[in-house]
Amino acid sequence: MNKNSKIYIAGHTGLVGGAISRLLKKEGYKNLVEKTRAELNLENELAVQSFFEKEKPEYVFLCAAKVGGIISNSKKPAEFILNNLKIQNNIIDSSYKSGVKKLLFMGSSCIYPRMAQQPIKEEYFMTGPLEPTNEAYAVAKIAGINMCQSYRKQYGSNFISVMPTNVYGPGDYFDLERSHVVGALIVKCHTAKKENIKEITLWGTGNAKREYIHCDDLADASLFLMKNYDDGEIINIGVGEDISIKELAKKIKKITGFEGKIIWDTTKPDGMPRKLLNVDKLHTLGWKHSIDFDRGIRETYEWFKKNITLK
């Protein structure tokens, strides 16, 4: 892939796709193709086929997806599985038919079993039951992985699949319906401070542990793998460290200046008890994250204050 290669970023307005777009432009890639949903509905098979036939991108970052936290995943499982399957199927198939040189499929760590041994190695994939709260989304991602591997096996397509841990950073969702945990905590603490609310309620026990990667680190890892990884087997992208939701809440409480009380609603689910990725494979290739978590959270909160207006 060179600086003049034609590169299509599917989902460039989202958290991950946006970070990849920023990085590629910063690195001097001059021939990027980016389409908003209004310009190209990725769930429309004929529209996607026509786009690929016309544009003929050489490289594809498949970051487009319907995403959300526990609330939206629990409420709309049919939408999560159907929409994501449509997007993946259309882009992967059209990439093959139009002769794309290489495609990177953005998976998710939720594809791993709920009770997987920690830290989670790539070979634990498909070795146990999934976490019920995001099963529909996970099944769609699993199908995307298998589709990339199947096109590689049958047609020789250089399609790779990466499995990032929980992502946060500028451009994230900051509404309680779609937010993941970092975005949701920022919104709750910021709103409580602003409106002088004395306590906030969070789901679960707070004991579940999660690993977080800044979207800019994920973008950097994705570009690195697009250049240096050509294997059909999945590869984890993470930082190799995790913290409890309770500790995360304390960090965000301090950064936002919220001084009230946190109530834990233990009638609500925690999700997976722990989700820490083994990133030995990625480290062996020569990539490690560079953004400190505390710094990343502070930068995310500053971006939120400048760019998000809450209703």
Q: Which residues are catalytic?
A: 137
> CA 89: distance to chain centroid?
18
**All residues at 6 or more sequence positions from 250 whose CB lies less than 8 Å from its CB, including other chains:** none
Return the residue matching tokens 């409106």.
195
Contact criterion met (CB below 8 Å) for 264 and 202: yes
Cross-strand partners of 262: 200
Secondary structure class of 44 (helix, strand, coil): coil
Residue 243: φ, ψ to 5°: -140, 160
Contacts 24+ apart (CB under 8 A), 303-310: 303/169, 303/170, 303/171, 304/174, 304/186, 304/190, 305/190, 307/170, 308/174, 310/174, 310/187, 310/190, 310/191
DSSP for 175-222, please give it. STTT--HHHHHHHHHHHHHHTT-SEEEEES-S--EE-EEEHHHHHHHH
Please tell me the distance from the alpha carbon of residue 239 to that of residue 216, in angstroms, as a whole number.
13
- CA angle, corner 136, sides to 308 and 132, nearest 5? 95
Neighbouring C-beta atoms of residue 265, cutoff 10 Å: 10
